[in-house]
Amino acid sequence: MRLFHVSEKPDIKVFVPRCPTRDDLDKSVGLVWAIDEMRLPNFLTPRDCPRVTYHVGAQTTQSDKRRFFSSPSMTHAVIVESRWLNIIKNTVLYLYEFETEDFILQDDVAGYYVAKTTQYPKRKIEVYDSFSELADRKVEIRIVDNLWPIADEVKKSTLNWSLCRMANAIPHP
């Protein structure tokens, strides 16, 4: 297993646990967050870029596979708004890879792992072309004018999905 932190910052040397702000987590326990390699494509856009991502899970039906993917060989999709294309094309991302020993699974669907200890990345990978990186990982990339219609549909599906930074999306029609 490989674990990463994705950032637009090129020079992070140490990751110190921070207390979460989410209401569903203990706000008194600092954590370092990481994403597993399978769900890494969900984060191969600039941090504030709104996106709908989904992938095939154990419960995904054949009907949903046909409905939500353009090809039977695809199993993961990232959908972004067209107004973010130039920002995505012009943003360099840095993938900080961690040793895995201190991390525990926090969310299996999302691929989130957390550590309560300070972490030092063992490697930094620079991504200059997010679209090529996604394509190399066999991720279907879709560009839409508005994310909300697909977000509403995918939430009703049997896919494993994530809606990221939707507060930055064009308002719901």
What's the CA dihedral at 8, 49, 44, 78 to 10 degrees?
180
**pLDDT for the residue 27:** 87
C-beta of residue 126 within 8 angstroms of C-beta of residue 4: no
Residue 173 has pLDDT above 80, yes or no: no
Instruction: Say what the pTM is.
Output: 0.94
Tell me: the pLDDT tens digits for 82-124? 999 999 999 999 999 999 999 999 999 999 999 999 999 999 9
Number of domains present in the structure of the chain: 1
For residue 103, the number of C-alpha atoms closer than 13 Å in the C-beta half-sphere is: 25
Residue type, 21: T
Does residue 110 lie within any of the structural domains? yes
Q: pLDDT above 90 covers what percent of the chain? A: 94
Reference 79, options 156, 134, 24; nearest CA is: 134
Does residue 37 lie within any of the structural domains? yes
Mean pLDDT of the chain: 96
Does residue 108 lie within any of the structural domains? yes
Does residue 126 lie within any of the structural domains? yes
Does residue 173 lie within any of the structural domains? no
Residue 159 to residues 114, 130, 150, 151, 156: CA-CA distances in angstroms? 24, 23, 12, 12, 9
Instruction: Write out the residue range of the structural domain in which residue 104 sits.
Output: 3-168
